[in-house]
Chain A
Amino acid sequence: MNGYVGTPTSRVDGRAKVTGAAKYAGEFAADGLLHGFIVDATVPRGRITRLDTSDALKVKGVVDVLTHTHRVALADKDEAWKDEVAPEKGSPFRPLYDDRVKFNGQPIALVIAEDWETAKFAATRVRVEYEQEAFATDLETERGTSAKVDQPHKPRGDAAAALAGAAVRHEADYVLPTEHHNPMELYATTAVWDGSGSLTVYDKTQGVQNVHKYLCGVFDMKPEDIRVVSPYVGGAFGSGLRPQHQVVLATLAALALKRSVRVVLTRQQMYGLGYRPMTIERVALGAKSDGTLDAVTHEAIAVTSRYEDFSRNDTGWAEQLYKSPNSRLSHKLVHLDVATPCDMRAPGAATGVCALECAMDELAVALKLDPIELRLKCYSDRDQSEDLPFSSKQLRECYARGAEAFGWARRNPAPRAMRDGKDLVGWGMATGVWEALQMPVAVRIVLTANGHAEVSCAASDIGTGTYTIMAQVAADALGLPIGNIDVKLADSTLPQAPVEGGSWMAASSAHAVLGAAEDIRQELARLAKAIPDSPLGGLNASEMVLVDGTISKAGDKSRAVAIADAMRHGKLERIEKQKLNQFAEDKSHARNTHSAVFAEVKVDEELGVIRVTRVVSAVAAGRILNTKTGRSQIMGSVVWGIGMALHEETVMDHRFGRIMNANIGEYHIPVNADIHDIDVIFVDEPDDRINKLGVKGLGEIGIVGVPAAIANAVYHATGKRVRHFPITLDKLLG
Chain B
Amino acid sequence: MNNFQYSRANDVADVIRLLAADPGAKLIAGGTNLIDLMKENVERPSRLIDISRLPLRNVEETPDQGLRIGALVPNSDLAYHPLIEQRYPLLASAILAGASAQLRNMASVGGNLMQRTRCAYFYDTTTPCNKREPGSGCSAIDGLNRNHAILGASNSCIATNPSDMSVALAALGALVHIAGPTGERTIALTDFHRIPGDKPHVDTNLSTGEIITAIGLPPRGFARNYSYLKIRDRLSYAFALVSVAAALELEGNAISEARLALGGVAHKPWRRLEAEAALRGQAATPDHFGRAADLLLEGAVAGSHNGFKLELARRAVVRTLMQAASGTPQSQAHKKIA
Touch test A–B (CB under 8 Å) = yes
Q: Check if B139 is an interface residue, CB within 8 A of chain A.
A: yes
A607 touches B316 (CB 8 A): yes
B126 touches A668 (CB 8 A): no
**A residues within 8 A CB of B3?**
121
B336 touches A674 (CB 8 A): no
Query: For residues 194 through 251 of chain B, which have their beta carbon under 8 Å from a beta carbon of chain A?
Result: 231, 233-238, 241
Q: Check if A734 is an interface residue, CB within 8 A of chain B.
A: yes
**B residues within 8 A CB of A609?**
231, 235, 335, 337
Smallest CB separation, A657 vs chain B (Å): 11
Q: Check if A573 is an interface residue, CB within 8 A of chain B.
A: no
B336 touches A606 (CB 8 A): no
Q: Considering only CB atoms, which chain A residue lies closest to B100 in the complex? A: A671
Complex CA distance for A733 and B3, rounded to whole angstroms: 48
Q: Considering only CB atoms, which chain A residue lies closest to B40 in the complex? A: A268
Q: Considering only CB atoms, which chain B residue lies closest to A669 in the complex? A: B234
**B residues within 8 A CB of A656?**
126-127, 139
A653 touches B143 (CB 8 A): yes
B315 touches A607 (CB 8 A): yes
Complex CA distance for A406 and B301, rounded to whole angstroms: 45
Smallest CB separation, A187 vs chain B (Å): 18
1/0 contact string of A543-564 vs chain B (CB within 8 Å): 0000000000000000000000
Interface 9-mer from B13-21, B116-124, B271-279 = B116-124
Q: Check if A98 is an interface residue, CB within 8 A of chain B.
A: no
Asked if A124 meets B41 with Cβ closer than 8 Å, knowing A661-B120, A673-B236, the reply is yes
1/0 contact string of B96-127 vs chain A (CB within 8 Å): 00000000000000000000001011001011
Complex CA distance for A134 and B259, rounded to whole angstroms: 52
Query: For residues 168 through 208 of chain B, which have their beta carbon under 8 Å from a beta carbon of chain A?
Result: none
Taking residues whose C-beta sits less than 8 angstroms from the other chain, chain A's interface range is 35 or more
1/0 contact string of B281-322 vs chain A (CB within 8 Å): 000000000000000000000000000100110011011000
Q: Considering only CB atoms, which chain B residue lies closest to A661 in the complex? A: B120
**B residues within 8 A CB of A124?**
2, 41
Query: For residues 381 through 437 of chain A, which have their beta carbon under 8 Å from a beta carbon of chain B?
Result: 420-423
B235 touches A733 (CB 8 A): no
B234 touches A674 (CB 8 A): yes
**B residues within 8 A CB of A636?**
none
A117 touches B127 (CB 8 A): no
Q: Check if A604 is an interface residue, CB within 8 A of chain B.
A: yes
**A residues within 8 A CB of B120?**
660-661, 666
B231 touches A733 (CB 8 A): no
Q: Check if A42 is an interface residue, CB within 8 A of chain B.
A: yes
Q: Check if A5 is an interface residue, CB within 8 A of chain B.
A: no
Query: For residues 627 through 680 of chain A, which have their beta carbon under 8 Å from a beta carbon of chain B?
Result: 646-647, 651, 653, 655-656, 658, 660-661, 665-666, 668, 670-674
Complex CA distance for A423 and B334, rounded to whole angstroms: 14
Residue from the list B127, B333, B336 in contact with A658, Cβ < 8 A: B127
Complex CA distance for A421 and B334, rounded to whole angstroms: 15
**Can you give 12 A-B contacts (C-beta < 8 A)?**
A602-B336, A611-B336, A660-B144, A665-B238, A668-B233, A672-B236, A674-B234, A729-B233, A729-B241, A733-B312, A733-B315, A734-B308
**B residues within 8 A CB of A522?**
none
Smallest CB separation, A677 vs chain B (Å): 14
1/0 contact string of B53-81 vs chain A (CB within 8 Å): 00000000000000000000000000000
B311 touches A647 (CB 8 A): no
A730 touches B308 (CB 8 A): yes
Complex CA distance for A120 and B311, rounded to whole angstroms: 44
B139 touches A653 (CB 8 A): yes
Q: Check if A728 is an interface residue, CB within 8 A of chain B.
A: yes
Q: Considering only CB atoms, which chain A residue lies closest to B142 in the complex? A: A655
Known: A124-B2, A671-B236, A729-B231. 13 other contacts (CB 8 A): A117-B1, A609-B231, A653-B139, A658-B126, A670-B234, A671-B237, A673-B234, A674-B234, A674-B235, A674-B236, A733-B312, A733-B315, A734-B308
Q: Which 9 A-B pairs have the closest CB atoms?
A: A673-B236, A730-B308, A660-B120, A42-B126, A673-B235, A606-B315, A604-B337, A671-B237, A674-B235
Asked if A655 meets B319 with Cβ closer than 8 Å, knowing A121-B3, A668-B234, A733-B308, the reply is no
Q: Considering only CB atoms, which chain A residue lies closest to B238 in the complex? A: A668
B312 touches A607 (CB 8 A): yes
Q: Considering only CB atoms, which chain B residue lies closest to A121 in the complex? A: B1
Max chain A Cβ within 10 angstroms of own Cβ: one of B235, B236, B238, B241? B235
Interface residues of A, dominant DSSP: loop
Query: For residues 582 through 614 of chain A, which have their beta carbon under 8 Å from a beta carbon of chain B?
Result: 602, 604, 606-609, 611
A423 touches B336 (CB 8 A): yes
**A residues within 8 A CB of B238?**
665, 668, 671
**B residues within 8 A CB of A661?**
120
**A residues within 8 A CB of B233?**
647, 668, 728-729
Complex CA distance for A117 and B41, rounded to whole angstroms: 13
Complex CA distance for A665 and B333, rounded to whole angstroms: 20
Max chain B Cβ within 10 angstroms of own Cβ: one of A120, A422, A730? A730
A673 touches B237 (CB 8 A): yes
Max chain B Cβ within 10 angstroms of own Cβ: one of A609, A729, A734? A609
**B residues within 8 A CB of A604?**
337
Max chain B Cβ within 10 angstroms of own Cβ: one of A120, A121, A658, A673? A673
Asked if A671 meets B1 with Cβ closer than 8 Å, knowing A655-B143, A666-B120, the reply is no
A607 touches B236 (CB 8 A): no
Complex CA distance for A420 and B237, rounded to whole angstroms: 25
**B residues within 8 A CB of A120?**
1
Complex CA distance for A422 and B146, rounded to whole angstroms: 26
B1 touches A607 (CB 8 A): no
Asked if A660 meets B308 with Cβ closer than 8 Å, knowing A604-B337, A653-B139, A655-B143, the reply is no
**B residues within 8 A CB of A733?**
308, 311-312, 315
Asked if A647 meets B315 with Cβ closer than 8 Å, knowing A661-B120, A666-B118, A734-B308, the reply is no
Complex CA distance for A421 and B3, rounded to whole angstroms: 56
A673 touches B311 (CB 8 A): no
Smallest CB separation, B320 vs chain A (Å): 10
Smallest CB separation, A88 vs chain B (Å): 34
Query: For residues 1 through 47 of chain A, which have their beta carbon under 8 Å from a beta carbon of chain B?
Result: 42
Q: Considering only CB atoms, which chain B residue lies closest to A423 in the complex? A: B336
Residue from the list B121, B234, B311, B315 in contact with A671, Cβ < 8 A: B234
Complex CA distance for A390 and B72, rounded to whole angstroms: 66
Q: Considering only CB atoms, which chain B residue lies closest to A124 in the complex? A: B41
Query: For residues 318 through 338 of chain B, which have their beta carbon under 8 Å from a beta carbon of chain A?
Result: 318-319, 333, 335-337
B126 touches A607 (CB 8 A): no
Q: Considering only CB atoms, which chain B residue lies closest to A41 in the complex? A: B126
A671 touches B235 (CB 8 A): yes
Asked if A653 meets B144 with Cβ closer than 8 Å, knowing A668-B234, A729-B231, the reply is yes
1/0 contact string of B247-283 vs chain A (CB within 8 Å): 0000000000000000000000000000000000000
Smallest CB separation, A449 vs chain B (Å): 51
Complex CA distance for A427 and B231, rounded to whole angstroms: 23
Complex CA distance for A421 and B27, rounded to whole angstroms: 48
**B residues within 8 A CB of A730?**
146, 241, 308, 312
**A residues within 8 A CB of B234?**
646-647, 668, 670-671, 673-674
Complex CA distance for A608 and B337, rounded to whole angstroms: 11
Max chain B Cβ within 10 angstroms of own Cβ: one of A646, A661, A733? A733
